[in-house]
């Protein structure tokens, strides 16, 4: 996979999506989903990679609204470049969020996480 990086000098206005990480394919970094026939496994529909639920890697994805030179536009930042920002790998943060008190709804967890970001 080709890795492209760009340095963008801008000011962040807001977070566009409260989902700040996603289950990631180890082969192509695409989002992977639970298999319908076997919910203990995840599969990448782009490259065919499969793994058990316990082996899923998570990857950061921040979708931001930013401004520069009086223009407003969207920027999406992916991957381990965000580890220093969060201070933890995305997979570890996902485990912390998942293991919160069970009385908190998943949508509330992500809303709180979005506010924290
Ligand atoms: Zn893949």
pTM of the model: 0.78
The rounded Å distance from CA 36 to ligand 1 centre is 17
- Cα distance between residue 92 and residue 46, in whole Å: 25
The rounded Å distance from CA 78 to ligand 1 centre is 15
Beta-strand runs (E) in the chain = 11-15, 21-24, 33-34, 41-43, 50-52, 57-68, 71-78
For 85-115, how does the pLDDT look when each residue is reduced to its tens digit (9 = 90+)? Answer: 889 999 998 888 887 666 666 666 666 667 7
Q: In the prediction, which pLDDT does 1 show?
A: 57
Within 13 Å and on the Cβ side, how many CA atoms surround 29? 10
The rounded Å distance from CA 43 to ligand 1 centre is 8
The rounded Å distance from CA 102 to ligand 1 centre is 31
The rounded Å distance from CA 55 to ligand 1 centre is 14
Instruction: Sketch out the chain's domains with CATH numbers.
Output: 11-116 (2.40.50.140)
């Amino acid at each position: 996979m080709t890795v492209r990086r760009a340095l963008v000098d801008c000011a962040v206005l807001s977070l566009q999506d409260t989902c700040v990480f996603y289950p990631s394919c180890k082969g192509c970094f695409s989002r992977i989903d639970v298999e319908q026939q076997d919910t203990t496994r995840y599969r990448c529909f782009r490259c065919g990679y499969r793994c058990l639920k316990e082996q899923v890697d998570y990857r950061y994805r921040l979708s931001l609204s930013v401004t520069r030179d009086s223009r407003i536009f969207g920027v999406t930042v992916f991957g381990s470049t965000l580890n220093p920002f969060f201070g933890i790998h995305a997979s570890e943060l996902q485990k912390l969020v998942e293991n919160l008190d069970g009385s908190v709804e998943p949508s509330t967890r992500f809303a709180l996480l979005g506010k924290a970001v």
